[in-house]
Structure 1
Amino acid sequence: MLKVIVVDDEPLARKGMMVRLREFPELEVIAECTNGQQAIDSISQLTPDLVFLDVEMPGMDGFAVLKQLQAQNAVLPYIVFVTAYDHYAYSAFEVSALDYVLKPVEPERLKQAVEKVLKIYQAQDTQRHKGQLAEAVAKLTGDDTGNILQRLDNAQPVVNDRFPDAISIKDSGEITRVPVAAIEWVDAAGDYMCIHTRDGQTHILRRTMKELEQELDPKLFVRVHRSAIVNVHTIAKLQMLANGEHQLMLTNGQAVKVSRSYKDRVKQVFNQ
């Protein structure tokens, strides 16, 4: 539900608006104000989603209310101006009002204004949830937030559940298939990557760390540094060093530094 404040200096006009707004289950009126200053105080304290704001009020009219809120850098709600004069319409849109309705308020016109607000709110709410989901997935997988949002917009899977069982590595005219399950950890070496496997071998791969990370199952591999990826099954313990930094000790005795930006992702491995 959207939290709503009704602002009007005329008691009958406020009452009429309150009655009409009851017909919209998506709206909850949390306050009614009788003047501009009261409106500013209520909006600042209650942070409504939507305000029906009367234009013609003594002392401080609706435009002055909105301009003062803007000057305070307040988080502005959706504004629907209510006025007896349609010549205010242009000015209403100039100060970023979402819509306006004329007095006496006609039910059908009010419905159009409310539906307009709800449509915009739902679109922004969906985008906000997509952003939150993309950030969460990015933290878990190391994928770029923009790529995740693009997949969401295209109705594609957010995380690829099918990952290759082996990685093909070309070297000196040969192609070696390295089983993903055999990889213990990976570190970057300039323009190359060194893939270290359980049999003690090191394979040189001419790929970027980001490209390889997208091919590895995030449930089995964790990015611990800008230049290092580790198989979670090879992690023995997480150590805090004297300088406040962290490092992983692998089961093969290898120490791998953990950067601050990836520390939370590493800690999630120990919480699983």
Structure 2
Amino acid sequence: MTVLKCIAVDDEPLALKLVETFIEQTPFLQLSCSCDNAVEALSLIREKQPDIVFLDINMPNLTGMELARLLQDQSISIPKIIFTTAYNHYAIEGYKVNAVDYLLKPFSYEEFLRAANKVLQITEESSNHYQSIATDDEFFFLKVEYQWVRISLKDVLYIESLKDYVKVHLVDSEKAVLSLISLKALEEKLPSTKFMRIHRSFIVALDKINTISKNSIFIGKTEITVGEQYKEAFKTIVDRWLK
């Protein structure tokens, strides 16, 4: 059974305790930790790498919404966010930061469970995608809508992350392949001798790189920035090429 690690964040003790109780009574959820402020939560998310964060919005110093925006800019695996708040006017903002759901206080266990099940469904669908990717070094399969599409490694130019999806750009094809899978999951299945992640949103085919500059590469006319986190590893590859 899939078990999802959770962090609960709320500055109201009673509200925090309620979420903790709901998590503990849900078989597929596991409470990693909880805290009463978003600043501490950011550190815990980096350390614990949870699957879900149940996140209050109105908190001092750093709000839950501000934390969610910060996570979008981090080079870490971004957890699914379920907002918990007493104010309904944040709903639109919540979806802008890709929140899975928005629970309006006071919410019932039924409402909580419905939101948690959304994350479980997304996680299991994504897992089914990458577990079925072929391990053959010459090709892999991706699920595109309701069918599986075979993609030859030699045809891949670069792969772009679009939140919960990846966009695979191919040689001699104006239309990219879009699939519901995380970039991290796909990266783990690709041969590291042929592909490299150079940015939190991009994996590139090393043999398709045409030009290398100080902070970016070109594949055809497409420029892709080398992220700060990936510069050292990419430099090692480049140095090997230039020897």
TM category (shorter chain) comes to 0.5 to 0.7
The alignment status of 1:13 with 2:8, answered yes or no, reads: no
1:33 and 1:54 map into 2 onto residues whose CA distance is: 11
Aligned to 1:95: 97
Shift in Å at residue 73 of structure 1?
2.9
Q: TM-score, normalised by structure 1?
A: 0.50
The alignment status of 1:70 with 2:72, answered yes or no, reads: yes
Greater CA radius of gyration, 1 or 2? Answer: 1
Corresponding pairs, count: 145
Note the alpha carbon deviations across 1:110-147, whole angstroms, 9 max, x for none: 1110111111111011112112xx1x2x23xx5x324x
AA of the residue aligned to 2:91: A
Alignment equivalent of 2:123, drawn from 100, 121, 131: 121
2:19 and 2:74 map into 1 onto residues whose CA distance is: 28
Task: Answer whether contact 1:84 1:104 (CA < 8 A) is retained.
Answer: yes
Alignment equivalent of 2:4, drawn from 2, 5, 8: 2
Aligned to 1:207: none
Aligned to 2:40: 38
AA of the residue aligned to 1:49: D
Q: TM-score, normalised by structure 2?
A: 0.56
Aligned to 2:196: none
Aligned to 1:57: 59
Alignment equivalent of 2:114, drawn from 112, 121, 124: 112
1:1-272 aligned at under 5 Å gives the runs 1-131=3-133, 134=134, 136=135, 138-139=136-137, 142=138, 144-146=139-141, 153=147
Note the alpha carbon deviations across 1:158-203, whole angstroms, 9 max, x for none: xxxxxxxxxxxxxxxxxxxxxxxxxxxxxxxxxxxxxxxxxxxxxx
Aligned to 1:204: none
User: What secondary structure sits across from 1:39 in the alignment?
Assistant: helix
2:25 and 2:51 map into 1 onto residues whose CA distance is: 18
Tell me which of the two structures has the higher relative contact order, counting C-alpha pairs closer than 8 angstroms and 6 or more residues apart. 2
Amino-acid identity (%): 36
Structure 1 unaligned segments of length 5 or more: list them: 155-272
1:27 and 1:123 map into 2 onto residues whose CA distance is: 17
Moved over 4 A (4+): none
Shift in Å at residue 153 of structure 1?
4.9
Task: Answer whether contact 1:130 1:149 (CA < 8 A) is retained.
Answer: no
Q: CA RMSD in A?
A: 1.9
Task: Answer whether contact 2:129 2:143 (CA < 8 A) is retained.
Answer: no
Note the alpha carbon deviations across 1:18-47, whole angstroms, 9 max, x for none: 111222110000010110110100001110
